[in-house]
Amino acid sequence: MRLYGGVVHGMARRIVAEPGLAEEVAQDAFLALWRRPGAYDAARGSLQAFLLGVTRNKAIDLVRREESRHRASKLLIAEAEAAPKQEEAPGESLEERHRVKDALSKLSFVQREAIVLAYFGGRTYREVAEELHIPEGTAKTRLRDGLLKLKELMSSPSRADGE
């Protein structure tokens, strides 16, 4: 890893662009070699070329998975926004729905994505974690932090209330 770590990480970084995900791709490339050392054939090329090929493939797969996840999340958000109203509680108004929508838009993308999947998509935190390819603890944190931020945003006076 010391010998090829920099070049492998550099390749991953150029394709993925996000440092954390690039590190994940680089680690996956080395794990692939460790799990299946027979996949490398010295007669077909150098170890560096093999590792770079594995890294490239893993990085491209990750980018495609992330793009697919983003598209699915955007569709789910659009679906939730376009969904017909359920029975309104007394006092609930179109204005309140706009406040919720506005508050959701102020969350980070990852928090909004997790909340939309859980609350509008009806998924458990485990299903959110699985769908987003993240650890369960990360899904719980995104949901908790997002809900706390939503509570803060919703409890602050809105501009429509006189500000």
What averages of pLDDT result for each successive group of 10 residues across the chain (163 residues)? 88 89 91 91 92 94 81 70 55 72 85 86 87 88 92 73 45
Going along the chain from its start, the domains and CATH numbers come out as 5-67 (1.10.1740.10), 84-161 (1.10.10.10)
Instruction: Assess contact for 155 and 127: CB atoms under 8 A.
Output: no
10: exposed, middle or buried (Cβ count in 10 Å: 0-12, 13-18, 19+): middle
How many Å apart are CA 25 and CA 62, to the nearest integer?
A: 8
Looking at residue 82, its pLDDT comes to 65
pLDDT of residue 162: 44
158 three-state secondary structure:
coil
Q: What is the C-alpha end-to-end distance of the chain, expressed in Å?
A: 58
What pLDDT, on the 0 to 100 scale, is given for residue 159?
A: 47
Distance from C-alpha of 163 to C-alpha of 156, rounded to nearest angstrom: 11
Distance CA 161, CA 163 (A): 6
At which residue do the structure tokens 């460790």 appear?
34
Q: State the pLDDT at residue 34.
A: 92
- pLDDT (0 to 100) of residue 14: 93
What is the predicted pLDDT for the residue at 10?
93
Residue-level pLDDT at 91: 53
- Answer positive or negative: Cα dihedral of 148, 117, 140, 89: positive
For CA atoms 109, 115, 118, 119, give the dihedral sign. negative
d(CA 43, CA 50) in angstroms, rounded, equals 11
